[in-house]
Chain A
Amino acid sequence: MSDSLINCCWNRRELLQLLTTGVVAFSASQLSARAAEDRGPQRGKSLITLWLAGGPSQLETWDPHPGTRIGGPIKAIDTSIQGTQICEWYPQTAEILNSFCVIRSIVSKEGDHERGTYVVRTGYRPEPTVVHPSLGSIVYHELPQGSLEIPGHVSLGDGQFATRGGYLGEESTAFRVFDPGRNLTNLEAPVDHERHQRRLETLGQLSQGFLNGRRYPIASSLHQKTIDSALKMMTSEQLKAFSISDEPAAVLAAYGNHSFGRGCLVARRLIETGVRAVDVTLNGFDTHANNFGLSQGRAEILDPALATLVTDLKSRDLWDSTVVLVCGEFGRTPQINPLDGRDHWPHGFSILLGGGGLASGRVIGATDPEGVKSPENPVEIPQIMASILQVLGIDFQKEIFTPIGRPIRLTSGQPLAALFKA
C-alpha cells in the first residue's frame, strides 16, 4: 500500500468517519430548540452571501469614477457614509451603506469565471490535487447546528458553480434550491402517506439480506442515518423557512418578486430558523457588451433586495449575529471596450461586508480614477475570509488534515484590522 502520510495516519474506515461527521452533526441536537429564538450578541452567528455572478463592474456599483475617462456615462450619488458616493442606480443601498464596510481594492490573480469563483469562494487558487471548501461550507462545518432539522448550508438561485464542501466532505456542500420561495422539490413523497409508509417498511425489510455480512461498512458510511435525516427533514416544521406564502405582500414587494428577491427573503427566514450559511445568487453581471444597460438592469433587482434585507435583519435584531457579504468573482476593466462593455478585471474590484459585529461605515482601499495604477491598500480574499471566520468565532488558523495527506489551514490570510470595531 501507499507509504504516504494518508495511509500511515488514516485508514479507509477512519476517513469515511471523518467525512461523515457533518451528517452526525446534522442529526445531533447540541443546543436547545430555543437557540433559534435568541437575539443580539448571545445568538449563534450566521453568514449570508449575496453572490453577483459574472463579475459585477466596480464602477457601476460601489466604486464609480464619474466624469473620468473610465467612468462611463453614469453619475454618482451621496450615501450614508459621509464623503462616499456609489453608482446612481443604487439609491436604496446608498441609504443603508453605513451598515457596511466598502472594500474597493480587492485583488485576485484569476480572471476566468470558474477559477475566479473558486478563489473568491474558497480563498485559495484552484489546485489539481485538492478541492478547498467554500466559505459557507467552512461556516457550516465549524459552527454547531443546534436543533436544526433542515440543512445548515443552503444555496438559493441557479448559480453555475456550486459551493462545494471540498475536503470537508460532500455533506458540507450547500443544499441547492434553484427557484427560492416557490415549491421545494424533492421534499414531498411521490405517493400518499400510507403507501409511502408501506414502501419504507418494505425497504427496511428488503435491505436486511444485503446488509447481512456487510453491516459494518454500510453503517460506517451512515447510509441509513442519511435516509433517516432526510425523512426527518421531510416532516419538519422548520421547512416553513423555505416558504414565503405567509409573508405579507408588501414585504415580498419590497424585496422584489423575482428569484433573487425571493431568495433574499428566504435567506432571512433561514437565518432566523438557525441556518448557518446561506448564499443567494444573482446572475447576469458578465457585461462584455452593453455594460451600462445590463448593469442598470441588475441594479434594479439588487438595490431593493439588498437594502430590504439589511433593514429586515436589523428590525428583527438579527443584524449583529449575521454577517452579510456582497461580492462576485472579480470586477470589470476600467476601459470600456468597442461594444460598450467591460471585460474581466481581478486587479482591483469592490465588495460590501457588514453585520455580525463587524465595523461599519468605513471605506477601505481606492482604485485609480484613470484605471492605470494598482489600487491603494490592496486587500486579498484570504484576508476577507479570515476576518469573517474570526467574527463568526471560528479559528481561522485551524488546520484540517485533508484526505490528500497534508494539513491545510481554513484560510491562508490574516484578519483585516480595519474591518473590526476599535
Chain B
Amino acid sequence: MSGKVSMNTSTIGTSTKRAERWQLAGALKLVLPLFLTTAGVISLFAFMAQMGLEADGQPPTNLPPDLQNWKISAAAVDQSWGTSKTLSQAERADDLTILRRLHLALVGTVPSLEEIRAFEAMESQDRIAQWTNHLLMDPRVGDYLAQRLGKVFVGIEEGQFIVFRRDRFNQWLSREILDNRPYDKIVQQMISEKGLWTGRPAGNFITAAVTGEEVDENKLAGRSARAFLGQRMDCAQCHDHFFAQWKQHDFEGLAAFFAPVRISAVGLEDQKDFQYQVDDSKAEDGKRKVDLRVPFGEEWLPAHGTERHKLAQWITHEENRRFDRAIVNRMWGLMFGKPLVEPVDDLPDPPVERQSDPLDVLADEFRTHGRSLHWLIQVIVQTQAFQQESRHPSAENGEKFDVASENWVMYPLTRLRPEQIIGNMLQAWSLQTIDQNSHVFVRLFRLFRERDFLKEYGDTGEEELALFTGTIPQALLRMNGEFSRQLSEATPLSAAGRLANLSNDREELVTGVFLACLTRRPTAEELQLIEAMCQTHPVSNATLAEDLYWTLFNSPEFSWNH
C-alpha cells in the first residue's frame, strides 16, 4: 500500500514538475523571442550609431624604437641590386597607395574608411612604419598570415577526419605570428611536436600527412623540403632528380627522420630504436634498410634527441642558408604578390659569395635579427621596392616592362587572390573596420559571404604565388553576382547607403566611395566626369553611390595589387 501511495505521490510529483516545466517552456517561448528581438534591435541601432563618417580608431602615436635599424637593413637590400639595374627606380608612391599594399598583404583587404581617416590623422613622415607596427598587433594579421602560410605548411587537402584539425593549427600559427615568436622556433615545434594535435596544434603539421592510419613519411619529407628549404625534392622519392643534385637516397634519408612517428592513444609519439625500411624489388626480401641522411650539412645534425628533433635542428641550423632564404623569399612574395625568386619552392643554391644578391642579403639580415617575422615585414616595407610606384615612365611597351619588372624598379602589378577580392568588397561595404570587435551580425555576414563567394569564384588553393588570369565566370560573378548587388546596395547598414545619406555634397559622396573602394581620392578629371554624368542623367545620391560601387568593384584598379 505504502508502495502504491508512494508511487502515486511520485506520479503526481512528476506530473506537477512536468506541468511546471511546460509552463516554464511556454513562458520562455514568449519571453525569449521578445528579449532576443529587443536585444537585436538595440544592438543594431548601437551598430548603426557607430557607423559615422568620422574616424573612431585612435592612430598610433609613438615611433617604433627599431625604426632606424629597419631602415639600415632596408638600405642594405636596396643597395644589393648594385649596378645590375639598367633603368632608374620609379618614383615613390603616395602613402595611401602604400597603405593599401600593406593591408592587402597583411590583412587581405583594403583598409576601411575608418582606418584611412586614422592613418591620415598621423603627422609623422614615418607613419607607414608606425602603422605597420600598429597592424602587427592586430589579430587580423595573425589570422590572415596563418591562413596563407598554413597552406604552405599543411597543404589544402581536407586531411583525415579527426586526426587533422586545420582550425586548431591556424589558430596556433596565428598566435605564434602575433607573438612574434622566432620563425625557427615555430618550425622546430611543427616538426617535432608530440602528443594530441588538439591540445598541441603544431602537431597537425604531422597529422596532415596521415594517409589511411599511417603517417606518410614521404609526404612529410617532400613538404618539409619545399616549405622550409625552398627545394623540390619530391621526384627524388622515385628516382634521382633530373636536373638538381638530389638523389633518391637523399630523399629516403630525409623521410627516415619522420618514419618513427606514429599515432597512439596519447597522440603523436616516436618509436624508439626504429629501423626504417623501404620496398625494393632488388633486395633479397623485397625490403631495404634506410638510415638517417641529410643531403648536405651533415655537421649540423645534433648528436642527441629524437629523429624529428634532429631534423628540426638541422633544418633550422643557423648555417642552413636555404632555411632563411626560403621564408624571406616567401614573405617577400606575400608582401608584393610576387616573390624575389620563382618558383618559391624550387630556389637555386645559395650563392657561393655571400650576400651577392638581394635575397641573400635579406636572408642574412633576417637571421642576424633573431629570425623575427615582424622584423622581416618591417624591413621589406621600408625598402624602395615596396614604396615605389607600380608604373614606370619608360616601361610602357612589353620588352621594357619585362626589364623593369625583373629589376624591381617598380612595384609589380599582380592580380589579387580570390579571398582578397571578396575581402575588399566586404570591407568596402562597411565604413568601419571589420575585425574581431565588429558586431556579430557583421562578422557572420562576412563569414558566410566569403565562403559562398570563394565557392563560386574558385580558389587558387596551394598555389599561393602562382600566376593566374581572370576567368569569364569570375567576371560574371563580379558584374552580376548576388555579392556585388548586395554589397553595393545603398541600405541603412551599408557604406553606400551611409555615404549617400551623410555626405554634404556630391563630391564628398564620390570621395567617400573612392576611398572605401580604392583607398584614394578621385582625381579632378574623375570628379568632372562623374559630375557631367550626373548632369546628363540626374540620379539620387543612393543610386549614384550604388552605381559607383558597382563600377569600382569591376574596375581593374580594384582587383589588382599595385
Contacts and interface: CB of A to CB of B under 8 A. Distances in A.
Contact of B556 (A13, A190, A207, A234): A207
Interface in A1-39: 1-7, 11-13, 15-16, 19-20, 23, 26
Most chain A beta carbons < 10 A, residue from B219, B232, B472, B475: B472
Given A189-B479, A209-B525, A216 B401 contact: yes
B480 A221 contact: no
A414 interface: no
Interface stretch (A74-82, A167-175, A326-334): A167-175
Interface stretch (A222-230, A276-284, A348-356): A222-230
A221 B415 contact: yes
Nearest to A118: B157
A151 B406 CA distance: 35
B353 to A, nearest CB: 16
B68 interface: no
A20 B480 CA distance: 23
A129 interface: yes
A218 B560 contact: yes
For chain B, the bracket of interface size reads 35 or more
Contacts of A7: 342
A403 interface: yes
B467 A4 contact: no
Given A216-B398, A221-B415, A170 B467 contact: no
Contact of A209 (B157, B346, B523): B523
Contacts of B186: none
Interface string A200-227: 0011011101111111111011110011
Nearest to B405: A12
5 contacts: A15-B467, A128-B219, A218-B560, A221-B469, A233-B472
Contacts of B473: 151, 175-176, 186
A200 B12 CA distance: 75
B301 interface: no
Given A114-B157, A128-B234, 11 more contacts: A11-B406, A170-B460, A173-B458, A186-B456, A186-B476, A202-B529, A203-B551, A213-B391, A216-B397, A403-B466, A405-B343
Contacts of B480: 185-190, 234
Given A13-B398, A187-B480, A23 B391 contact: no
B555 A207 contact: yes
Given A4-B348, A112-B211, A223 B547 contact: no
B396 interface: yes
Interface stretch (B39-47, B252-260, B268-276, B481-489): B481-489
Interface in A124-172: 126-129, 131, 151, 162, 169-171
Interface residues of A, number: 71
A115 B485 CA distance: 37
A182 interface: no
Interface in A360-399: none
B478 to A, nearest CB: 9
Nearest to B482: A185
Interface string B132-157: 00000000000000000000000101
A198 B33 CA distance: 45
A240 interface: no
Contacts of B466: 403
A16 B472 contact: no
B461 interface: yes
